[in-house]
Amino acid sequence: MKTLIFLMILICSSCSRIEYAANDGIPITWGARASHDTFARVGGVVPLYLWGAVESPIPVSLSAAFAKEGALSVSKLVVGEETSFDVWLPRLLSFGMYWPVKWQAEGFIQKAKFEREQ
């Protein structure tokens, strides 16, 4: 019984750290800009291992994620991590060896003029 409690505490405690980067040429700001009129939400899953102790070797590129949405620049950025059943199930089944972290970023983007007209 004590072993089961110990394993549950170990599985439910995480020391994960995700690094976000914005270095691919798309300007990203926290404040608002008047020319940014389209709302966009992007997200993904970062696979971590050993209760999150093994960090991801590559930072999450917010610029690349928003570029897939056609953004030239991003403002009013909000970044967060989600916790749901589809994240916790693999953590529990692998006893914490596989530790997926689902992230989400949202903000207002400026698109090219020809994309707005369509």
Rg of the chain in Å (alpha carbons): 18
- Close Cβ partners of 113 (under 8 Å, ≥ 6 residues apart): none
Cβ–Cβ < 8 Å for 13, 95: no
The 10s digit of each residue's pLDDT in 2-22 is 676 766 666 566 566 677 777
Structural domain total, the chain = 1
Q: Strand, helix or coil at 8?
A: helix
Q: Using CA atoms, how far apart are residues 21 and 23, in angstroms rounded to an integer?
A: 6
Q: What is the C-alpha separation between 54 and 60, in angstroms, rounded?
A: 15
Whole-number average pLDDT of the chain:
77
Residue 26: give its domain's CATH number.
3.30.110
Express each pLDDT in 57-109 by its tens digit: 778 888 888 888 888 888 888 888 888 888 888 878 887 778 888 889 998 98
Give me the pLDDT at residue 15, please: 63
Q: Does the pLDDT value for residue 118 go beyond 70?
A: no
Q: Tell me which residue range forms the domain holding 10.
A: 2-116
What is the spatial distance between Cα 42 and Cα 65, in angstroms, rounded to a whole number? 6
- Which tokens is 3 given? 């072993």
Sign of the Cα torsion 21, 26, 31, 37 reads: negative
- 3 state SS of 71: strand
For residues 116 and 73, the model is more confident at: 73
Helix (H, G, I), strand (E, B) or coil at 87: helix
